[in-house]
Structure 1
């Protein structure tokens, strides 16, 4: 007999988008993504003074409705998080689970999405920086994008290596600034008046942008600039390579985890007629959705495991069970 779920468990399942709530969860995600994109476009257009003045009431109404929806979503997620698979496994009270959720990156992003607008409503001031902060609402898309989640996980996994790379870049930045200041200061005192002023040239050169507004003109300065430019190519490639490698590793781990789950379902359970039953397929479909894998990848892994199992169950010559 199927267990009756509480309202909180149903909402948690809806937010997770698994099982019976997969379709409903997908519809909810699409609706929230659409609302986020509408908000981002509205914030950008609102920066045009004439348009903002003409459609002030429409922009205000959209903001009020959006903040209300996002605030309700935030509160409901906080209430139902204790029944999500990730937090239900945490030992302790529901308060402890909710605190754990509040400190999670996605919960912080949800809070940032509504906090600037709430501050604007509380303080009757034209706080432009708070209006610009509303653009951070676009980071809510991270919750609905598996690729963005993989990228965030890559940042977390390679945090120490990235810190070391940026530390080295900071040291090189200071050395480049000091070097070009000593070489070019006497010739261009207006552009290289101090080491902090020379940092603009060093930053533009190290990032291989090279705006060209500040450039060395002495032979020694040009030689020094060329060396820094060549050095910068390798410096910029370090964090890029780390993130690319970690991103690829995250994808490999997810695919391997799914293949192991398929192997367990195929070889660890009784398979009738050489195929999976509905319960097994639903379980693997939920796992595929959580891992963010495509249906093509999932079907390929399932088919490979079934073919391997069936090759041992059926005679290769007659196709019948021995």
Structure 2
């Protein structure tokens, strides 16, 4: 049983000799998740849901069964995860820590709504909509989504500061327009909370036009807030874009440094090539990016400069 558990853990983690099977398994689950999201969206159309009710029910049963088995299997094999390798936790403690991890919670929430609809008799249509949470399971398999989550995690303090400033400006904007417009438009600016709707859509540059100032001072104040909002909205966007770019640069640098080390002997053997391919997939780099990085390393590596690029013979 321990051998089977370790084998499944290798597949789930896409490591060792089971790396290929791990990637195939991830691809299968990603396809199933996308199919589930499409089915849930289409099922919301009444006449399609009525005409194909049996298909949607069976597809949901099969999907929930697969996701449930996956969740239980991951829970069973969680004791063999790399993050627990050098710890002194018992198997029970490791599984409890895995259950509380973000990815495990996402897996649980992805199947929980459907399980509730199967066992609870009253109407739970709102829980069916919650099945769309399955799309968050892609964070386990998508390198791009993992990169975005890492970006948000690393810039959490900066984003918090930016949103705090935006909240302060939102309150100031709502209070200001309330003072200027509440006598003229008591139905729209009768209170500061009511004025926050105008302040919010103005600060986010959406501007629905359903609530607008009519007094001269109100229009001037609104114009100032609109101009100010252009810079405010750009702050969190700039933070995320800059951090995301740094993440991509760091991943390329990691791949480049590995290529540089493997070329110390002047050649990349089959095992080196396998290692580079595994690293490329782990970092989420495209084949074209990897080839370009290797070309750059070849032109700058001091060892390779002593070999002819055509015949490979050592240059005196």
Partner Cα separation in structure 2 for residue 58 and residue 251 of structure 1? 42
- The answer to whether 1:43 aligns with 2:40 is yes
What pairs up with 1:31-110 in 2 under 5 angstroms?
A: 31-110=28-107
Partner of 2:314 in structure 1? 320
Residue 126 (structure 1) aligned with residue 108 (structure 2): no
- Greater CA deviation, 10-19 or 103-112? 10-19
Alpha carbons of structure 1 residues 301 and 86: separation in structure 2 relative to 1, 3 Å: farther
Shift of 1:243: 0.7
* Correspondence 1:184 to 2:177: no
What is the number of residues matched between the two proteins?
Answer: 313
C-alpha contact 1:173 1:199 (8 A) present in aligned 2: yes
Give a deviation string over 1:213-269, Cα, whole Å, max 9, x none.
1101111111111111111111111111111111111111112222222233232xx
Question: 5+ residue gaps in structure 2?
Answer: none
CA shift, 1:312, in A, is 4.9
Summarize deviations over 1:159-178 as a string: whole Å, max 9, x none: 11111111111111111111
Deviation at 1:147, TM superposition (A): 0.8
Which residue of 202, 206, 229 maps to 1:205? 202
TM-score by length of 1: 0.89
The alpha carbon displacement at 1:12 in A equals 2.0
Q: 1:317 to 1:178 in 2, by over 3 A?
A: closer
From 288, 304, 307, the counterpart of 1:311: 304
Assess, with a 3 A threshold, how the Cα gap between structure 1 residues 247 and 77 changes in structure 2: closer, same or farther: same
- Residue of structure 1 in register with 2:289 after alignment: 297
Q: Tell me which moved more, 161-170 or 274-283.
A: 274-283
| Contact 1:177 1:195 (C-alpha < 8 Å) held by counterparts | yes
CA distance in 2, matches of 1:316, 1:122: 68
Instruction: Say if 1:288 and 1:298, in contact at 8 Å, map to a contact too.
Output: yes
Secondary structure of 1:6's partner?
helix
Whole-Å separation in 1 of the counterparts to 2:27 and 2:249: 27
CA distance in 2, matches of 1:265, 1:311: 11
Q: Distance in 1 between matches of 2:262 and 2:49?
A: 57
The 3-state SS of whatever aligns with 1:222 is: helix
Higher relative contact order (CA 8 A, sep 6+): 1
TM-score under structure 2 normalisation?
A: 0.91
Give unpaired runs (5+ residues) of structure 1. Answer: none
Cα contact 1:36–1:138 (8 A) shared by 2: yes
Identify if the C-alpha distance between structure 1 residues 170 and 275 changes in structure 2 by more than 3 Å, giving closer, same or farther: same
1:232 corresponds in structure 2 to 229
Residue 205 of structure 2 aligns to a residue whose secondary structure is: coil
| Structure-1 residue corresponding to 2:110 | 113
| Runs of 4+ residues over 6 Å off in structure 1 | 315-318
Would the alpha carbon gap of residues 57 and 70 (structure 1) be closer, same or farther in structure 2, given more than 3 Å must change?
same
- CA deviation digits over 1:267-301, x for unaligned, max 9? 2xxx3xx3212222222221221111122222333
Q: What residue is the counterpart of 1:143 in the other structure? A: 140
Q: Describe the SS at the equivalent of 2:183.
A: coil
